[in-house]
Structure 1
Amino acid sequence: MDSEALQKSSASHPKPSGLTLQYGTAGFRTKAEQLDHVMFRMGLLAVLRSKVLASTIGVMVTASHNPEEDNGVKLVDPLGEMLHPSWEEYATQLANAEEQELQTTITEICQKAAVNLHKDASVFIGRDTRPSSKKLSQSVIDGVSVLGGQYHDYGLLTTPQLHYLVCCQNTQGQYGKATLEGYYEKLSKAFTELIKQSPISGENQRHLKIDCANGIGALKLSEMKPYFPKEMLIRLYNDGTKEKLNHLCGADFVKVHQQPPRGLVMEPGERCCSFDGDADRIVYYYTDTTGRFHLIDGDKIATLISVFLKELLAKVGQSLELAVVQTAYANGSSTRYLEETLKVPVHCVKTGVKHLHHKAQEFDIGVYFEANGHGTVLFSKAAETKIRQLAKEEKDDGKREAAKVLENMMDLINQTVGDAISDMLAIEAILALKGLTVQQWDGLYTDLPNRLLRVQVAERRAVATVDAERRAVSPPGLQDSIDALVGKYRAARAFVRPSGTEDVVRVYAEADTQENADALALEVSMAVYQLAGGKGAPPQLL
């Protein structure tokens, strides 16, 4: 390590005095002007991680669904998964080290993690369309370069594309070609093969309106359009040419506000979907003949995919273990439908994609989606081998054809991380193959009315939870209050959890009517406000 070069380069990316940041569920995220030093240092960390694993590491500059003036950074591990939790601590230490402590901190990390600084390092870098992203990705490059790492700057990418490219690179092309063309070709080939067997003919083309959140998704979908079969007709809205990123549009806006994005006019029964700013989340929606808005969120996406996979496994005659992983935010109706009607086991884990992804790896086929629309499907190596073998060698025509559909679905899904483009194509293929309308999909089960509220508190750590965040263990008396309030309403459920990044406690409630869900959410919020040190104005419904 060249101490002088490090010192000089670091001085060009000074840390703001008194700023402390925590590596959260999805990396660092805050106002863009506060992140220059963090980006530089995550370049350093990516090199250390690459050296210790002898693999390519990814660095993505994005703040996902946050406002345009924010930015952030996510690190990607060798198989396209999120940064290993043991290194999140190193990321936080490095980001918060004072200028004069930087070299010592790097040395400590090298000792603890057994990093050999003489090894080679390789880093892939991508960025979203925020005005600040180009400059901040240059800061990452500076960090990579000063420690002698090699880098490939892919420029503008969706977050899932970077995850995909990192995985392809580290599997020597087994997962796919480590190029954008490779990504487009793999997904479009699998999609085309699937819809060939659809009862929907070319006469009745698949129309879909897509809200791209004025983000990177619009750019990448436009590049991918020539790869799509002629049956797939997509129209892009909020493509970034006029409005600000994520402003009154995008998956998060649609999910939270339960209304269509600005700039997209919907006819009754038209199928529409929204990506978020970095295209790793997706939600669907439509309006009925009365003009009522219907949201189809991550729970219903997971259910549709599970129905389809279960039917295919039955046709193939295989006893591969299929399971769904949810968080406490999943609607109670979805859990009941999966367990009681579909007979698919459901597992609940803490909020955060890393927890869902980790749990889903335990099964032959693990389906996971957060209610916000972030999710994917994982196939174990054994399941993948079995499916490919059956698609090639099975003598029974029906079983072999079903295995081929499973194989194409496996290739269509981006297993490294939730991917709005990949998920959209998988959903469109399933709807086409099953001949389902968006209304029929929505009708699989009826969501329980629910409400999500935020309570400002002086210190979020005053609230602690257990049982996958479904029960509060502090402050004393809070869970007793929640239990008593839930008991007042029919089909009710409520839980609270502290935010991972700000002094806010999130309150989720559901009940038999919207009025009761709203009332329960407000009463639980007041209990949090009184028992956990509420700050500012008391909670209220918007």
Structure 2
Amino acid sequence: MTGAHSSGTIVEAAEMHPAPNGVVYQYGTAGFRTKADILDSVMTRCALIAALRSRKVGGQWIGMMITASHNPPEDNGVKLVEAMGNMLTEKWEALATEMANKPTPEAVLEYYEEIAFKNNIDLKSPARVVLARDTRASGARLQACVIDGLKAAGAEIRDFGYLTTPQLHYMVRCLNTNGAYGTPTEQGYYEKFGGAFKRALRGKKPTGTLTVDCANGVGGPKLAELIKYLPPKSEGLEIIIVNDNVVKPEALNVECGADFVKTNQRAPPSSGAGPNDRCCSLDGDADRVVYYFKDGNSMFHLLDGDRIATLVATFLGDLVRTSGLADQIKLGVVQTAYANGAATHFVKDNLKLKVECTPTGVKYLHHEAEGMDIGVYFEANGHGTVVFSPDTLKTIAAYEPRSPGQKESLDTLKACIDLINSAVGDALSDALLVEVILAHKNWGAEEWLGTYNDLPNRLLKVIVKDRNMFKTADAERQLVKPEGVQKLIDAEVQKVRQGRSFARASGTEDAVRVYAEGATRAEADDLARKVAEIVKAAGAA
């Protein structure tokens, strides 16, 4: 299905899927995402952008994932994936947004040709696009809209059907590295991560079982398949899968999944796990994971992205040191302002590692992590991974251990590198990495929780008339507009022991999110309430 586009077919494809009146689309942190019934035109136009992007990067494969992740079942979306399996560049996000909002099929063609002209893209050169979707009921219809656009643009199509979002990222990276990253098939994915898990365990057995809530999404069947490639449960890890009903798409993310657990601070009603049983929840497209357990008194404890980041940074830091590489490789952690203050102090004071703070959004954290030798990043919501610089990978590959102890640490480190999906946060590989670390430390969830005590915190949402009034600086930790508001917030923070608070405009709705921490639950709640009142007054002015 290769060959140059013809202007007629692009106009025809756009005519088949006309844009609804009065809808303004925005390529957000995770692509276009909204109600599925108003996305047909976006899908076709996004396909044109994907074809152009592929031509711009010399005919490499570009990915398109049809998903709305943790959103309700009636939503859907699409995101584009760069040639190395990472997020679309910001410049092309803007092009995609403008293309999605063109009023007529003729305007779509005109803009398509304008992008090609301004970016020196030869429209006769090959374009290649990889396609996959999650289990939403609207997925098949929206996929057909994508294919109409890709055919109109003369792109070659590889359609993988149902995949998790990280599996699609993996396929793109494999295809563009000629298999150096792995084999670009589902089986190749399972073999790579299953094999790495086995090597990283080094004969150690995780304690207890792991109950995995799959949000009734695509992660359920994919995890069931991955288990076949793991060591038998007698030698390795016993995984109990719950919430894997993909036959009923309307059950997706309902009363389950990572977002439900993080937002409600409780286990899914369907979990069924006993006291101190380790549990984790994926989101609808399996790119996020959070851990949790109930203690002997039925108290719920969340082990979120901050906890995963500190666990991973501790373990990898130890491996770098015990393999004799501490002089050559430096580890760093990337967080957002939402990271718990106790986690930040633990990394700085206990682990003695560098911490960088970026604005909210995985693309910012990933970019910052790419500047480190080893960059560990996880948003509190459970979306994250570890990035290894090309120089670091060469250093590790070339290093000759000087003792059996160093060799053992080096082998474990190499296995962990293979176990981590560095292209993007991957709930399945992240969970396997956590299990490897807990097995090496001979820890259950309680010991993991005991590494530090989270500061009590509260997140509030304040509805405002115009969120654009609120402008931030310093990685969203300081309000610069409206003027004078930050001073009022600072005055309230000063009154609270271990107080910290910030306010930032939501990326998706006319609201401002207020985060506050304090030494006690009462102080954190009180500070959040007072800052919310300040924001409310400023928003009404």
Range of TM-score over shorter length: over 0.9
Q: 2:540 aligns to what SS in structure 1?
A: coil
Q: 1:51 aligns to what SS in structure 2?
A: helix
Segments of structure 1 that go 5 or more residues without pairing to the other structure are 535-542
Corresponding residue to 2:535 among 504, 518, 528? 528
1:178 aligns with 2:180: no
Structure 1 window deviating more from structure 2 (366-375 vs 135-144): it is 135-144
- Contact 2:207–2:439 (8 Å) recurs in 1: no
- Aligned match of 2:430: 423
- Aligned match of 1:408: 415
Residues of 1 paired with 2:429 and 2:136: CA distance? Answer: 23
How far has the Cα of 1:197 moved from its partner? 3.5
**Correspondence list, 1:143-542, <5 A:** 143-198=149-204, 200=205, 206-230=208-232, 231-240=236-245, 241=247, 244-318=251-325, 319=327, 320-390=329-399, 393-533=400-540
Structure 1 window deviating more from structure 2 (331-340 vs 239-248): it is 239-248
Deviations 1:276-305 (A, max 9, x none): 000000000001111100000000100000
Structure 1 window deviating more from structure 2 (106-115 vs 357-366): it is 106-115
Segments of structure 2 that go 5 or more residues without pairing to the other structure are none
Deviations 1:104-128 (A, max 9, x none): 1112211222221011010000101
The normalised TM-score by structure 2 is: 0.96
- Contact 2:505–2:511 (8 Å) recurs in 1: yes
Residues of 2 paired with 1:458 and 1:50: CA distance? Answer: 40
Residues of 1 paired with 2:315 and 2:201: CA distance? Answer: 14
1:59 aligns with 2:64: yes
Q: 1:174 aligns to what SS in structure 2?
A: coil
- Contact 2:45–2:99 (8 Å) recurs in 1: yes
- Contact 1:205–1:233 (8 Å) recurs in 2: no
- Contact 2:202–2:412 (8 Å) recurs in 1: no
Residues of 2 paired with 1:167 and 1:524: CA distance? Answer: 44
Residues of 1 paired with 2:342 and 2:15: CA distance? Answer: 54
**Correspondence list, 1:29-44, <5 A:** 29-44=33-48
Residues of 2 paired with 1:407 and 1:47: CA distance? Answer: 36
Q: 2:181 aligns to what SS in structure 1?
A: coil
Residues of 1 paired with 2:527 and 2:76: CA distance? Answer: 35
Structure 2 letter corresponding to 1:180: E
Residues of 1 paired with 2:536 and 2:348: CA distance? Answer: 35
- Contact 2:212–2:240 (8 Å) recurs in 1: yes
How far has the Cα of 1:501 moved from its partner? 2.3
**Moved >4 Å (runs of 4+):** none
- Aligned match of 1:537: none
Residues of 2 paired with 1:271 and 1:229: CA distance? Answer: 19
Structure 2 letter corresponding to 1:112: K
- Aligned match of 1:117: 123
How far has the Cα of 1:471 moved from its partner? 0.1
Residues of 1 paired with 2:202 and 2:333: CA distance? Answer: 28
- Aligned match of 2:18: 14
Structure 1 letter corresponding to 2:149: G
Deviations 1:151-179 (A, max 9, x none): 11101100000001100111111111111
The normalised TM-score by structure 1 is: 0.96
- Contact 1:211–1:239 (8 Å) recurs in 2: yes
- Aligned match of 1:539: none
- Contact 2:288–2:381 (8 Å) recurs in 1: yes
Structure 1 window deviating more from structure 2 (498-507 vs 92-101): it is 498-507
Structure 1 window deviating more from structure 2 (335-344 vs 258-267): it is 258-267
- Contact 1:325–1:349 (8 Å) recurs in 2: yes
Corresponding residue to 2:88 among 83, 88, 96? 83
Residues of 2 paired with 1:462 and 1:298: CA distance? Answer: 30
How far has the Cα of 1:266 moved from its partner? 2.2
- Contact 2:207–2:443 (8 Å) recurs in 1: no
Structure 2 letter corresponding to 1:292: M
Residues of 2 paired with 1:115 and 1:60: CA distance? Answer: 24
Deviations 1:314-344 (A, max 9, x none): 1111120100000000000000000001101
- Aligned match of 2:31: 27
Q: 2:339 aligns to what SS in structure 1?
A: coil
- Contact 1:209–1:235 (8 Å) recurs in 2: yes
Residues of 2 paired with 1:485 and 1:216: CA distance? Answer: 45
1:45 aligns with 2:20: no
Q: 1:213 aligns to what SS in structure 2?
A: coil
Residues of 1 paired with 2:118 and 2:364: CA distance? Answer: 25
How far has the Cα of 1:395 moved from its partner? 4.3
Structure 1 residues 205 and 438: CA distance shift in structure 2, 3 A: closer
How far has the Cα of 1:389 moved from its partner? 2.5
Residues of 2 paired with 1:519 and 1:65: CA distance? Answer: 30
Residues of 1 paired with 2:199 and 2:293: CA distance? Answer: 27
Residues of 2 paired with 1:206 and 1:170: CA distance? Answer: 39
Q: 1:429 aligns to what SS in structure 2?
A: helix
Structure 1 window deviating more from structure 2 (463-472 vs 451-460): it is 451-460
How far has the Cα of 1:206 moved from its partner? 4.6
- Contact 2:218–2:284 (8 Å) recurs in 1: yes
Residues of 2 paired with 1:141 and 1:244: CA distance? Answer: 27
Residues of 2 paired with 1:386 and 1:401: CA distance? Answer: 17
Residues of 2 paired with 1:68 and 1:525: CA distance? Answer: 31
